[in-house]
């Protein structure tokens, strides 16, 4: 599936949002809504709320619809997602999505206790993604635009795994995404 509009994003969630989120006891839609909600509750910008809401759509675009890390595969979902989103959003949405895996790796390098707080699947994927950043990699990452946003997104990502959490509906976050979309109303042209 190619994403060309907000309606395409909505359809993706309708088609694949029910897929389990890596053994976390929730599905992809619940994870996205929770992550967006946490960003909104933290007072993030509409762009960063949108990034939080959409950061894992690359998992839903995985044609197998499973948990690749359980098979020892890094699906590189961050690159798939950012590539799909770049025609709809500016860098303040796309870059944190693109960088959120590096954000996890950076947080593991910065905070010793952070790794221990990760879920089993996050630890498994972390090993596949290269482990904590080296000192040189960390310095380079921290100098990147949107590195701080990527780390904030990653913290919300970690917390957005609570079964039965009450969140705003899908349309709430689609409206926020529409407000920062670079195409008129995010509609198909």
DSSP 118-181: S-HHHHHHHHHTTSSPPHHHHHHHHTSTTHHHHHHHHHHHHH---TT-----HHHHHHHHHHH-
Band of pLDDT at residue 187, cut at 50, 70 and 90: very low
Helices and strands: H and E segment counts in the chain:
11, 0
- Rounded distance, CA 104 to CA 108, Å? 6
User: What confidence score (pLDDT) does residue 67 get?
Assistant: 57
Residue 70: what are its φ and ψ, rounded to 5°?
A: -70, -20
pLDDT average, residue stretch 125-130: 78
Residue ranges of domains in the chain: 6-184
Q: Would you say residue 177 has pLDDT above 80?
A: yes
Mean pLDDT of the chain: 88
Architecture of domain 6-184: Orthogonal Bundle (1.10)
What pTM, to 2 d.p., does this model score?
Answer: 0.89
pLDDT tens for each residue of 76-87 = 678 788 999 999
- Rounded distance, CA 7 to CA 56, Å? 17
């Amino acid at each position: 599936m190619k994403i060309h509009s907000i309606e395409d994003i909505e359809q993706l969630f309708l088609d694949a949002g029910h897929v389990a989120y890596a053994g976390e006891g929730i599905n992809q839609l619940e994870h996205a809504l929770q992550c967006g909600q946490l960003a909104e509750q933290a007072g993030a910008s509409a762009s960063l709320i949108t990034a939080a809401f959409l950061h894992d759509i690359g998992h839903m675009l995985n044609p197998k619809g499973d948990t690749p890390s359980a098979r020892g595969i890094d699906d590189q979902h961050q690159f798939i997602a950012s590539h799909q989103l770049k025609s709809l959003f500016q860098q303040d949405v796309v870059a944190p999505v693109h960088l959120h895996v590096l954000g996890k790796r950076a947080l593991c390098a910065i905070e010793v206790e952070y790794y221990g707080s990760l879920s089993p699947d996050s630890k498994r994927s972390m090993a596949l993604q290269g482990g904590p950043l080296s000192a040189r990699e960390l310095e380079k990452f921290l100098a990147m635009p949107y590195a701080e946003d990527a780390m904030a997104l990653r913290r919300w990502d970690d917390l957005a795994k609570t079964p039965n959490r009450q969140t705003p509906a899908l349309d709430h976050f689609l409206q926020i995404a529409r407000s920062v979309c670079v195409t008129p109303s995010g509609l198909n042209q």
